[in-house]
Amino acid sequence: MDEAHQWSPRVKDQPSPQHGKADNEDAGPSDGFALSGNEQGDVEEKRPPRAAVLHEIIRREGEHELKRGVAALGWSSLAAGLSMGFSLLARGLLHTHLRDFPGRFLLENFGYCFGYLVVILARQQLFTENTMTAVLPLMTEPSLRKFASLLRMWGIVLIGNLIGAAMFAYGILHLQQFDGDTQSAFTDIGKELMKNSPLQMFTKGILAGWLIATLVWLLPSAEKAKIAIIVIVTYLIAIGGFTHIIVGTVESLYLVFAGDIRFADYALRFALPTLAGNIVGGSFIFALISHAQVRSGGD
């Protein structure tokens, strides 16, 4: 009796070959391959984050930005406005030095990306980038307090960006840093922008705002490819001729300071329609769709 009692657990503890085979068969069809715990972890690490994760990363960033003080937002947005001027500067220099080079248009527009690289990698406050980031907290928990915080942030960042852009445009015109050919290139770029009608400024602004919001959504999962993502998205804005309120302000105010157009032309033909288009594209379309996707349980 004692021997039987002692033998029974030993028999029970030994897995039978049949039982082990069944386990492997069960793992095969459901998992595709039998993976160890470490390998399963590797699979999870290499999977792109779910939409809900991206949404939460951007929402938390927006919450942080909404709580920043006026001085911090103001200086950062001023720096961003100045930095975005390098998009015109780089593009104008390439335009000049690639004068008779085949495919000049496609090459010179890589210069447009430079300002965005500086602003985004330096974490400066750019209005169109914050259009989606700061609006997600409001969409998640709508309230008058958050709406007021959003308008406060937008106002500070937009004013800071515009002042910085105006300073840059005035500086490259009057500080005698560039020769006549380069100055002519800056003028040509600005005149090309101002060929658009107010309606075109608005509709092209929608696409620019949408693309910048897409860029914001992509960056948290880009890891080591951030520079490539920034260049690809902003290069598309450049070759598409889509209108951006801050870059376009540098280009058009350059013409104002040079006496080629009136300030009213800048404000009414470019700034107001483009600003409206950027907000519609970045907030009312992309941010709303992305938020709805997560709220409805999409991955």
Among positive and negative, which fits the CA dihedral 245, 126, 177, 95? negative
pLDDT digits (tens, 9 = 90+) for 35-62: 666 545 554 555 556 666 766 777 777 7
Count of Cβ atoms closer than 10 Å to residue 50 Cβ: 13
Q: Which two tokens stand for residue 141?
A: 């928990």
Cβ–Cβ under 8 Å, residues 127 and 157: yes
Does position 252 have pLDDT exceeding 50, yes or no? yes
Does position 241 have pLDDT exceeding 60, yes or no? yes
More confidently predicted of 110 and 50: 110
pLDDT digits (tens, 9 = 90+) for 224-240: 899 999 999 999 999 99
**Amino acid sitting at position 83:** S
Q: Please, what is the angle between helix 144-174 and helix 245-258, to 10°?
A: 40
Count of Cβ atoms closer than 10 Å to residue 244 Cβ: 31
Phi-psi region of 79 (alpha: psi -120 to 50; beta: other; left: phi over 0): alpha
Of the ranges 140-149, 168-177, 180-189, 233-242, which one carries the lowest mean pLDDT score?
140-149
Q: Which CATH class is domain 51-295?
A: mainly alpha
Q: Which two tokens stand for residue 65?
A: 């930005």
List the alpha helices (DSSP H) in 14-143.
17-31, 37-46, 51-66, 70-97, 104-108, 113-121, 127-133, 135-140
Does position 4 have pLDDT exceeding 60, yes or no? no
Q: Where are the domains of the chain?
A: 2-46, 51-295
Q: Average pLDDT, stretch 23-27?
A: 45
Say whether pTM exceeds 0.85: no
Cβ–Cβ under 8 Å, residues 185 and 95: yes
Q: How far apart are CA 259 and CA 255, in angstroms?
A: 6
Phi-psi region of 227 (alpha: psi -120 to 50; beta: other; left: phi over 0): alpha
Closest by CA position to 201, among listed 128, 274, 152: 274
Q: Which element (helix H / strand E) includes 167? A: helix 144-174
Cβ–Cβ under 8 Å, residues 81 and 163: yes
Please enumerate in sequence order all residues whose Cβ is within 8 A of that of 23, keeping only pairs 6 or more positions apart, or say none.
none
Beta strands in 173-256 (DSSP E): none
Please enumerate in sequence order all residues whose Cβ is within 8 A of that of 225, keeping only pairs 6 or more positions apart, or say none.
none
Q: How far apart are CA 66 and CA 135, in angstroms?
A: 10
Question: pLDDT-based confidence at 128, cuts 50/70/90?
Answer: confident
Cβ–Cβ under 8 Å, residues 211 and 242: yes
Q: Which two tokens stand for residue 100?
A: 């008779």
Does position 183 have pLDDT exceeding 70, yes or no? yes
Distances (CA, A) of 77 to 52, 153, 188, 261: 29, 10, 27, 26
Among positive and negative, which fits the CA dihedral 297, 132, 191, 264? positive
184 burial type by CB count under 10 A (0-12 exposed, 13-18 middle, 19+ buried): middle
pLDDT digits (tens, 9 = 90+) for 260-277: 999 999 999 999 999 999
